[in-house]
Amino acid sequence: MVLFSKKGDHKIHPASTTKIATLLYALKCSRDLKELVMVVPELLKTMTKEQKIANNYSIVPYLLEPDAYTLGLYPNSFYTFEDLYYALMLVSANDAANVIAYHLGERSIEQFMIGLNLYMGQIGCVDTTYVNPSGLEYPSHRTTAIDLSKMLAHAIKQPEALKILSTVHFKIESGELLDRELNNSNRLIRPDSGMQYKYCIGGKTGYTEHAGYCFVAAAKNGERSLVVAVMQSLTPHERFLDATNLFNAAFDEKKISRVFFNAEDPCFQTTPKYATKPLSLHLEEDLRVETFESVLENMEPVVTLFESSLPVKKGDVLGKVEIVTKNGKVIDSKKLFSSEDRALTWSSFWVRNKWSVFCAFIFLAWSAKWFHRKYRSTRASCKSISQGSK
């Protein structure tokens, strides 16, 4: 659930935080991490941002840019998916993003992006449309801070993704490279950064001129897990500082207890079928929730009354009360019981069904009259036959 949001639903350019989605969908494709894939030279082609703008972005959206970070993959060399995944997330290698998408998209980055966008919708990121796997700027490449938070929240629940996100240093073993040592760009997870945050379990940085400095991070303290998306910061330092302050604000919250309904609350009623007046319902115990205040603000009680009809016995279950979050998750549920016996009487049946009873009476009267006429007609016919035979 969203605890705090400032322009969280505004569509923005996400820069390299895009790569969270690329990793998630790549892992969903379930390929062997040690599988070797070749770097097709076409995937390393570059074009300056100025040339892209001059061409009105009519070129393919995944062309690399000379001043954007690449790992320096060699054309026609072979690398494992595992090494490419770590390069993708730790140092934000744009060339690794292209190679991953090309091979998992069955030799088509466009096909990979179609699958990725469908997958984003499946995990609830409905305001996200990505056209390349790296996050290089393109007019239609957009998401929101809330969607980015959902992506990372989903990622930290995947063991393979969390392992990569939480890695501080990694050494690439496959292929040809000038530098095989990778250091995570997430300063909150690095002990040598001067900004390490002890609760941080992973994150992804990003930067483009238009997007500014971006950062999506996850932290866990005891039973509570949080995700923060900080977008369009002015400096690299600012995004890490803002994320730390947001984490601390949430982790500093104390748990409180709120009683939504007590067991003696007389506010629940239902009117069973055939009843002429409402029937009182009650809870057997208090409906109480103990959690953080920011979480309580996202909860509301929902009362559901079951279909019922007389007679009713005291203690019959006639409904329920649920505490539900804004995203539909049920936190707690209690049954509603009948507080009294209520028998079915002819008077109550008549009051609730008088038109039905009246119509039934008319039908029975008409049927009786019809049968009476039929009987008299049959009797007269039988008498006539009897006289004729004499």
Q: Does residue 152 share a domain with residue 53?
A: yes
Peptide bond connecting 14 to the previous residue in cis, omega within 30 degrees of 0: no
Nearest to 15, CA basis, from 194, 191, 198, 205: 205
- Give pLDDT, residue 267: 84
Looking at the structure of the chain, the number of domains it has is: 2
- Of 75, 93, 238, residue with least CA distance to 164: 93
pLDDT at 294 (0 to 100) = 87
The reply to whether 20 and 163 lie within a common domain is: yes
Look at residue 8 and tell me if it is in a domain.
Answer: no
Cα–Cα distance for residue pair 171/189, rounded to 1 Å:
17
Last residue of a domain, one of 140, 161, 182: 182
Kindly state whether residue 81 falls inside one of the protein's structural domains: yes
CATH of the domain at 306: 2.60.410.10
Average pLDDT over residues 91-114: 97
Residue carrying structure tokens 């203690």? 315
Of the candidates 161, 162, 173, 167, which has an alpha carbon nearest to the alpha carbon of residue 185?
A: 167
Claim to verify: residue 128 and residue 268 sit in the same structural domain: no
Strand order, beta sheet including 317-325 = 269-270, 279-282, 330-338, 317-325, 299-305
Q: What is the mean pLDDT of residues 191-218?
A: 96
Q: What is the mean pLDDT of residues 22-33?
A: 96
pLDDT exceeds 80 at position 360: no
Q: What is the mean pLDDT of the chain?
A: 91
- Give Cα 42 to chain centroid, integer Å: 37
For residue 123, give the nearest of 133, 115, 112 by alpha carbon. Answer: 115
Residue 280 belongs to some domain of the structure: yes
pTM: 0.80
Q: Among candidates 99, 95, 125, 169, which has minimal Cα distance to 20?
A: 125
- Cα 84 to chain center, whole Å? 28
In a domain, 190, yes or no: no
Rounded CA-CA distance 387/390 in Å is: 5
Tell me which residue range forms the domain holding 38: 15-182
Identify the pLDDT of residue 1. 86
**pLDDT tens digits along 270-308:** 999 888 899 999 999 999 999 888 888 889 999 999 999
Domain edge (last residue) among 137, 160, 182: 182
Residue 386, in any domain of the structure: no
Is 54 among the domain residues? yes
- Binning pLDDT at 50, 70 and 90, where does residue 141 land? very high
